[in-house]
A and B are shown apart, each in its own frame.
Chain A
Amino acid sequence: MKELIEQFYQSIRNQSAPPIPYREILLTAQIMDEIFNQIYNVTKAERPVVATSNGENNCRHHAMKYVLITPSRNEEKFIQKTLDSMVAQTLLPVRWVIVDDGSPTAPASSPMITPNAILGLKWCTVPESGTQLRWQSPRFQRRFRAR
Chain B
Amino acid sequence: MSGGRQHVYLEKPFTVTAVEAKELIHLAEARKLKITAGHNLQFTLEMLEMRRLVAQNFLGGKPVHLESHFSYDLGDTSYVGPLLGNRKHWVRQLPGQLMHNILSHGIAKLAEFLDDDIAEIIASAHQSAQLQRLGGEEILDELRVLIRDASGTTAFFCFSTQIKPGLNLLRICGPVNSITVDHASGSLIPHENRSYKSYLTYIMPPLKNARRHFRNARTNFFDFVKAACIKIQA
State the A residues within 8 Å of B (CB). 1, 3-5, 7-8, 11-12, 18-20, 22-36, 38-40, 42, 47-51, 57, 59-61
Contact = CB atoms under 8 A, between A and B. Distances in A.
A35 B43 contact: no
Contacts of A19: 36, 43
19 contacts: A8-B34, A22-B29, A26-B22, A27-B118, A28-B104, A28-B111, A29-B14, A31-B107, A31-B111, A31-B121, A32-B107, A35-B103, A35-B107, A35-B123, A39-B96, A39-B125, A40-B96, A59-B95, A61-B138
A27 to B, nearest CB: 4
Interface in B114-139: 114, 116, 118, 121-125, 138
**Interface size range of chain B in the complex:** 35 or more
Contacts of B110: 31
Contacts of A59: 92-95
Nearest to B125: A39
Interface string B139-171: 010010101000000000000000000000000
Contacts of A60: 95
B18 interface: yes
B52 to A, nearest CB: 13
Most chain A beta-carbon contacts within 10 A, residue among B21, B40, B140: B21
B49 to A, nearest CB: 12
Contacts of B76: none
B35 interface: yes
Contacts of B34: 8, 11-12, 18
Most chain B beta-carbon contacts within 10 A, residue among A7, A40, A60: A40
A36 B100 contact: yes
Main secondary structure of the interface of A (DSSP, over half): helix
Contact of B36 (A8, A28, A38, A47): A8
B39 A20 contact: yes
B85 interface: no
B96 A32 contact: yes
B15 interface: yes
B40 A1 contact: yes
A50 B90 contact: yes
A61 B97 CA distance: 11
A38 B111 contact: no
Contacts of B15: 29
B103 A25 contact: no
A100 to B, nearest CB: 32
Contact of A34 (B9, B25, B40, B123): B123
B16 interface: yes
A1 B40 CA distance: 5
B86 to A, nearest CB: 12
B135 to A, nearest CB: 15
Given A31-B118, A31-B145, A32-B107, 15 more contacts: A3-B40, A4-B38, A4-B40, A11-B34, A12-B7, A24-B111, A25-B14, A29-B21, A32-B18, A32-B104, A34-B121, A39-B96, A39-B125, A50-B16, A57-B88
A28 B108 contact: yes
B121 A3 contact: no
Nearest to A51: B93
